[in-house]
């Protein structure tokens, strides 16, 4: 990324990791975005340690560092050719916001604005996905309910089909007539 150019959102998004349940950017990625050395960024943070509580910034454990090293390219310090002597620091969104009070260069301000917009965009995408998941769950519930109702209708129809047809006694309308009277009317016609 050329000097003076703001960090693209896609680049920032690609460097956000989920560690310990937090979306974080690592110190070396932030240093690259700010176009400073990682050592200088960490030194500025150490001078202002009281501004970075554990929920703003934390150092990765040895195991987290090993997993991270296997997922992305981080120089291997065992070769004796430079590399990190300690695990990287992870900065949460609040920690990155606090960096703006420690790093005051124009570049740091521009990058912080881009990072904050990226985190806001990610929250918005997450909220959209949660809303879609909620709606899908409602549709599944409605379909399930309708399925139960349709099943009940089919069972009722099946019961009616299988039930033996019972002859219903036909009721006669009018006054009862004796058989003698019926024969008199039959003769007249």
Q: What is the CATH classification number for the domain harbouring 61? A: 3.10.260
Predicted confidence band at 169 (pLDDT cuts at 50, 70, 90)? low
Residue 180 lies in a domain: no
Range of the domain at 79: 9-134
Whole-Å CA distances, 67 to 17, 31, 42, 61, 111: 12, 21, 22, 10, 27
Q: How many CA atoms lie less than 13 Å away from 163 in the CB half-sphere?
A: 9
N-terminal to C-terminal alpha carbon distance within the chain:
113
State mean pLDDT over 131-160: 79
Q: Which residues of 69-105 are buried (b: 16+ CB within 10 A; e: fewer)?
A: beeeebeeeeeeeeeeeebbbbbbbebbebbeeebee
**Which secondary-structure segment (H or E) carries 58?**
strand 57-59
Q: Is residue 33 part of a domain?
A: yes
**Structural domain contains residue 167:** no
70 within domain boundaries: yes
- Top pLDDT among 74 and 163 is at 163
2 or 25, which is more confident? Answer: 25
Residue 3 has pLDDT above 80, yes or no: no
Closest CA to 36 of 107, 119, 113: 107
Higher-confidence position of 95 and 185:
95
Cβ neighbours, 10 Å, residue 51:
14
Residue with tokens 């019961």: 159
Q: Please indicate, yes or no, if residue 124 is contained in any of the structural domains.
A: yes
Q: Which pLDDT score is estimated for 135?
A: 79
* Residue 142 maps to a domain: no
Q: Is the pLDDT of residue 15 over 60?
A: yes
**pLDDT tens figures, 78-90:** 444 556 778 899 9
pLDDT one-digit tens code per residue, 32-76:
988 889 999 999 999 999 999 999 999 999 888 888 877 765 555
Instruction: Report, as an integer, the average pLDDT of 101-119.
Output: 83
- CA distance linking residue 41 with residue 138, whole number of Å: 48
Distance, CA of 16 to CA of 56 (rounded, Å): 15
Cα 150 to Cα 125, 142, 153, 155, 157: the distances in Å are 37, 12, 5, 9, 11
């Amino acid at each position: 990324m050329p000097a003076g150019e703001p960090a693209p959102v896609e680049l920032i998004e690609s460097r956000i990791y989920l560690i310990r349940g937090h979306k974080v950017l690592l110190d070396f990625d932030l240093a690259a975005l700010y176009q400073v050395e990682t050592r200088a960024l960490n030194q500025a943070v150490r001078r202002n340690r009281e501004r970075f509580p554990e929920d703003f910034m934390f150092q990765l454990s040895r195991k987290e560092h090993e997993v991270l090293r296997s997922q992305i390219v981080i120089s291997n310090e065992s070769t004796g050719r430079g590399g990190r002597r300690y695990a990287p620091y992870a900065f949460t969104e609040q920690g990155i916001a606090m960096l703006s009070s420690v790093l005051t260069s124009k570049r740091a301000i521009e990058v912080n604005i881009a990072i904050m917009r990226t985190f806001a965009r990610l929250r918005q995408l997450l909220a959209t996905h949660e809303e879609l998941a909620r709606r899908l769950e409602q549709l599944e519930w409605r379909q399930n309910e309708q399925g139960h109702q349709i099943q009940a209708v089919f069972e009722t129809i099946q019961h009616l089909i299988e039930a033996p047809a019972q002859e219903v006694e036909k009721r006669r309308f009018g006054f009862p007539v004796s058989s003698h009277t019926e024969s008199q009317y039959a003769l007249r016609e």
